[in-house]
Amino acid sequence: MPAMQKSLDEYFGLTEHGTTVSREALAGVTTFLAMAYITVVNPLILSDAGMDFGAVFVATCVAAAIGSLVMGLIANYPIGLAPGMGQNAFFTYAVVVGSGHTWQAALGAVFLSGILFILISLLPIRAWLINSIPRNLKLGMAAGIGFFLAFIAMKNAGIVVQNPATFVSLGGVIEFAPLMALVGFFAITAMTARGNRSAVIVGMLLVSAVGWLRGQADFVGVVSAPPSAAPVFLQLDIAAALDISMLSVILTLLLVDVFDTAGTLVGVATRAKLVDASGNLPRLGKALFADSGATAIGALMGTSSTTSYIESAAGVESGGRTGLAAVIVGLLFLLCLLLAPLAQSIPGYAAAAALLFVSASMAQSLVDINWPDVTESTPALITAIMMPLSFSVADGIGIGFISYVAIKLLAGRHSEVPAAVFVVALVFAGKFAFL
């Protein structure tokens, strides 16, 4: 066995986990291809908040690289990290566009939520918080973020448009941009059904190519030196984030990141058979630290919350079992820094196609809700539908928690409400009443 391979085997426990260097490398490439769309979609979303596209592209790649490397080297899980879908939409459309906060203040809130997440990861409170939130509410949150993303995607692509009589209505779907968004979405879905792990990025490129050839989008190149990160690097405004009006923003960012991370870790680790006999995750604290640390570092770099990606399951299906796969993901994100021109060439309707597919994947969590128990299913559904209808992830979560407590109390089942849920519901009730 070559010295390098032996060292990797000893560090990551390849033999112990029944895997090899080549298998982990394949898994890393597979995971990267499944999540590479974020290098384009994240800058596009955050640019709507007034942030520089090229700088956010660099921040996205660096945050993803650091998060994935830490997850692989410290926690030894085959899980890639990158700025999260849903979190970036909340950042742009709820905090900045919707509430009028500056993107610098929003970055400050992301940083503070990351610091709080680090503290939770290091203290016993993590188990109390993660385990106390009802499973059905978590599922409702995931689905709601999916609905919210779908609405944003259709709005940006012109599939749905403003209507003074009905609030929204169907747009000109046979026009080029909406049509290409739908074609891209159909193509991505079909390729995924056929087992194509890189369907999202391939679909985006195919639709973009049509736009380039027809002159509907500008192709500016493939490879160049990375853009400057200066416009967003260390531009966070922590002082503004400490304003009382940002409390619900920080809380929402924290809750979404914690539960998204926990759900992804459990889901991917279970599929990889990395849980112990009791179904618990070994090295959970290290995994949460990797995720929370990446969020704080990402805010410093200039991007929204960084989180574990469920797309890592694609790498697991390819044989990934150790952190070496995550290290490969991190290195590939660093290489992506050279592809800024290609990212800038992707038109908005191509990104909308990707968003629609991601939203559909997130909405699948509805199938696991306990529908027969109306005290569980109703708050979950309220949470899901209120996110797009209020155009706010935070308000959707808040109303969901409040409805859960109210329904359980009125049904005489107060003993089923964990203390953490009472606390969160009271915080949001105070926010709605006084802020």
**149-203 pLDDT, tens per residue?**
788 888 888 899 888 888 888 888 889 989 999 999 999 999 989 988 778 888 8
DSSP letters spanning 119-139: HHHHSTHHHHHHHHS-HHHHH
Alpha-carbon gap, residue 274 to 71, rounded angstroms = 15
Q: Alpha-carbon Rg of the chain, whole angstroms? A: 21
Closest by Cα among 413, 415, 416, 409 to 429: 409
pLDDT in single tens digits along all 435 residues of the chain: 577 777 887 788 888 878 888 888 888 887 887 788 899 889 989 999 999 999 999 999 999 999 999 999 998 999 999 998 878 988 998 899 988 899 999 999 999 999 998 888 787 776 666 667 788 887 888 788 778 878 888 888 889 988 888 888 888 888 998 999 999 999 999 998 998 877 888 888 899 999 999 988 888 888 888 899 999 999 999 999 998 888 888 988 887 787 777 767 766 776 677 766 655 677 877 888 888 899 999 999 999 999 888 778 777 777 788 889 999 999 999 999 998 888 788 888 887 888 788 788 778 888 889 999 999 999 999 998 998 888 777 788 889 999 999 999 999 999 999 888 888 888 788 877 776
CA 60 vs CA 98, 242, 305, 425: distances in Å: 23, 24, 10, 33
379-435 pLDDT per residue, tens: 999 998 998 888 777 788 889 999 999 999 999 999 999 888 888 888 788 877 776
CA 272 vs CA 14, 76, 78, 262: distances in Å: 13, 13, 9, 15
Range of the domain at 53: 3-360+370-434
Alpha-carbon gap, residue 345 to 205, rounded angstroms = 10
Alpha-carbon gap, residue 178 to 155, rounded angstroms = 9
> Where would I find the H helices in 319-371?
323-335, 340-345, 348-363
> Where would I find the H helices in 194-279?
199-214, 238-241, 247-271
In the chain, how many domains are there? 1
One-letter identity of residue 335: L
Crossing angle for the helix pair 21-35 and 323-335, to the nearest 10 degrees? 50
Question: What are the phi and psi torsion angles at 170 (to 5°)?
Answer: -70, 135
- Which pLDDT value is given to residue 361? 78
Element holding 110 (H helix, E strand): helix 103-122
Provide the 10 A C-beta neighbour count for residue 106. Answer: 29
In a domain, 365, yes or no: no
Alpha-carbon gap, residue 308 to 292, rounded angstroms = 10
In a domain, 169, yes or no: yes
Provide the 10 A C-beta neighbour count for residue 317. Answer: 15
Alpha-carbon gap, residue 91 to 69, rounded angstroms = 25
One-letter identity of residue 22: S
DSSP state of 414: G
Closest by Cα among 136, 148, 150 to 366: 136
- Longest Cα pair distance anywhere in the chain, in angstroms? 71
